[in-house]
Amino acid sequence: MTELKYLIFLGCAIPYRVSAYEISTRRVAEKLGIKLVDMPNYNCCGLPVDPVSHELTLALAARNLCVAEQQGLNIMALCPGCAGTLRKVNKMLKEDRKLKELVNGYLKETGLEFKGNIEVKHLIQALAEDIGFEKIKGAVQKPLNTLKVAEHNGCHVLRPVKYIGFDDPENPLILKNLIEATGAKCLDYMDETECCGAPIIGVNEEIPLQLAKDKLRHIKDAGAQAMVTICPFCHMMFDTNQSRIERIFNETFGLPVLHYPQLLGLAMGFSPEELALKELRVDASKLVSIL
Amino acid sequence: MSETKETEFKGAEQTIVLKITDIDPKFKYEINKIPGAEKIMLCFQCGTCTADCPIARFSDTYRPRQILRMTQLGLKSRVLSSDLIWLCAACFACVDHCPQDVEIASVLRALRNLAVKGGYLPAVYKELTSNILQTGLAYKIPDSRLKRRGEIGLPSLPKADLESVNKLADATGFLKAIQTRRT
């Protein structure tokens, strides 16, 4: 069998403030037999500048894709924003010859040319498609049978359908199944597929905080003991901002928000230290102690 | 967001007072040439986008349907100078649900791109773009963070190819767009 090897695309937000997500991903990937190669001289995926210049977004994304093509490896991104953007631009450039010519024109100065011979996946897509639920179940040493959690998919892992083509954005099941592979129960709740609001927090704080507050409330009401995310921005809204949301809206949640590979890692027998659980803003030690 | 802007927008729906000189009848053709915004003319104002928009749910003024109509009508300067176009979170729920296959979020992006060319750039985007030109990444990662990676067992962060990033910013016309910005 060929070795499962990916270029790991870290993006900007993860090295900036969410190393726990990276640490836990590297741990579980290694144990599951995914070899992660650090992507040389990558740059921002392009998404943050899309509102400013769509052309620059295309060019930045395409440059990353070309670097991967030179390495001859597919990309695995941890951030849905990066995964979504690289996946979308990859598809657009592969299918639209005129657009490819335009973007290759931008790239010419840098000595690169988009060819279109690699694929891009988000972490959960790689886990679901390349490892598979059965193998993940098989890697579980300490099933989290007593745990009830709620998931929050990052929008860009799923939408827009016509560019992403992964899972069903109206009723996403893949993250749920990945969670349930650990033995934990994944609960349904209201507005499950709704955005966390993070992308506009730089221009308006009020709306995203209300959005996140509502989701935390619905998750709490559903009876979840923890929340599981797969995006550094969603994680910031629910974990980093949780105490602020509690203060502003005079509510108490105390809901630990785990990165999916942290949850999987616990079930695979890694210690909380190995998975950097201490880096979470909302204390998860009580949760871990009951597992 | 300024109070006046909100009132102006509300006004557009409540009282129909449009000066013919405020209208740019060719604006829609400027927009429908932009990739992703091609189908703007197919919007028949059903309001599915607004109904499905998580931001609209918590805002009294942000209505994607309304922004699309104003764009079709040619209210160019009102749309491009409005703070409201910067409220789309790009969750793409509207894109998936539009019965006319209009990429609403992409129309919003096209409007923002034009607003930038017209001299409007919110501070947060100014910072993100300047970070990208200086470091290759959207955030300036402090040295302490970079050093800490080694201490916690992570490989060092690859250095971005800044020369290439800046060449791309130049080739795409981005540098020119932000230099001509009115500040």
Q: What is the pLDDT of residues A120-138, one digit of tens each?
A: 999 999 999 999 999 999 9
Contact B174/A56, CB-based, under 8 Å?
yes
Query: Is the sign of the CA dihedral A244, A249, A252, A256 positive or negative?
Result: negative
Of A16, A110, A195, Cβ closest to residue B54: A195
A154 and A276 inside one domain: yes
A253 and A165 inside one domain: yes
- Count of domains observed in chain A: 2
Of A51, A197, A202, Cβ closest to residue B109: A51
**Which chain A residue is nearest to residue B52, measuring alpha carbons?**
A194
Question: Residue B6's pLDDT is what?
Answer: 47
Question: Residue B17's pLDDT is what?
Answer: 74
Q: What is the pLDDT of residues A260-282, one digit of tens each?
A: 999 999 999 999 999 999 999 99
Distance CA B71, CA B107 (A): 9
Kindly give the parts of chain A with pLDDT less than 70. 1
**Nearest-10 crossing angle of helices A80-95, A97-108:** 110
A271 and A152 inside one domain: yes
B38 and B82 inside one domain: yes
In a domain, A245, yes or no: yes
Distance CA B41, CA B31 (A): 10
Q: How far is B23 from chain A (nearest CA, A)?
A: 24
Averaged pLDDT of chain A: 97
In a domain, A258, yes or no: yes
| Residue B78 domain boundaries | 3-117
Which residues in chain A have their CB less than 8 angstroms from residue B54's CB?
191, 194-195, 197, 211
B31 and B89 inside one domain: yes
A85 and A152 inside one domain: no
Q: Are A232 and A78 in contact (CB under 8 A)?
A: yes
A12 and A85 inside one domain: yes
B40 and B89 inside one domain: yes
Question: Residue A3's pLDDT is what?
Answer: 86
The domain boundary residue, chosen from A88, A122, A156: A122
A81 and A197 inside one domain: no
Q: How far is B88 from chain A (nearest CA, A)?
A: 7
Which residues in chain A have their CB less than 8 angstroms from residue B157's CB?
10, 15
Tokens 């749309």 sit on residue:
B79
**Which chain A residue is nearest to residue B171, measuring alpha carbons?**
A106
A152 and A262 inside one domain: yes
The CATH number given to whatever domain includes residue B74 is 1.10.1060
In a domain, A253, yes or no: yes
Task: Name the token pair of B37.
Answer: 């915004």
B24 and B100 inside one domain: yes
A110 and A160 inside one domain: no
Digit-by-digit pLDDT tens for chain B (183 residues) are 444 444 455 545 556 677 888 899 999 999 999 999 999 999 999 999 999 999 999 999 999 999 999 999 999 999 999 999 999 999 999 999 999 999 999 999 999 999 999 999 999 999 999 999 999 999 999 999 999 999 999 999 999 999 999 999 999 999 887 776 544
B129 and B149 inside one domain: yes
Contacts of A29 (CB under 8 A, 6+ apart): A35, A36, A261
- Count of domains observed in chain B: 2
Question: Residue B178's pLDDT is what?
Answer: 76
Contacts of A50 (CB under 8 A, 6+ apart): A57, A85, B90, B109
B79 and B101 inside one domain: yes
Question: Residue A30's pLDDT is what?
Answer: 97
| Residue A246 domain boundaries | 141-289
A194 and A118 inside one domain: no
B85 and B105 inside one domain: yes
B86 and B11 inside one domain: yes
The domain boundary residue, chosen from A69, A89, A122: A122
Q: Are B73 and B40 in contact (CB under 8 A)?
A: no
**Which chain B residue is nearest to residue A53, measuring alpha carbons?**
B113
The domain boundary residue, chosen from B86, B117, B148: B117
Contacts of A210 (CB under 8 A, 6+ apart): A197, A249, B58
Task: Name the token pair of B9.
Answer: 């927008």
B89 and B168 inside one domain: no
B105 and B82 inside one domain: yes
Which residues in chain A have their CB less than 8 angstroms from residue B128's CB?
48-49, 52, 202
B71 and B141 inside one domain: no
Contact A43/B149, CB-based, under 8 Å?
no
Question: Residue B35's pLDDT is what?
Answer: 94
Distance CA A154, CA A198 (A): 10
Report the residue of B164, B178, B180 to disrupt the A interface, i.e. the one with the largest count of A CBs within 10 Å.
Answer: B164
A242 and A148 inside one domain: yes
Q: How far is B167 from chain A (nearest CA, A)?
A: 7
Contact B149/A210, CB-based, under 8 Å?
no
Q: How far is A201 from chain B (nearest CA, A)?
A: 9
B84 and B101 inside one domain: yes
Q: How far is A73 from chain B (nearest CA, A)?
A: 17
The CATH number given to whatever domain includes residue A196 is 3.40.50.11810
**Which chain B residue is nearest to residue A275, measuring alpha carbons?**
B152
The CATH number given to whatever domain includes residue A72 is 1.20.1050.140
A165 and A110 inside one domain: no
Question: Residue B2's pLDDT is what?
Answer: 43
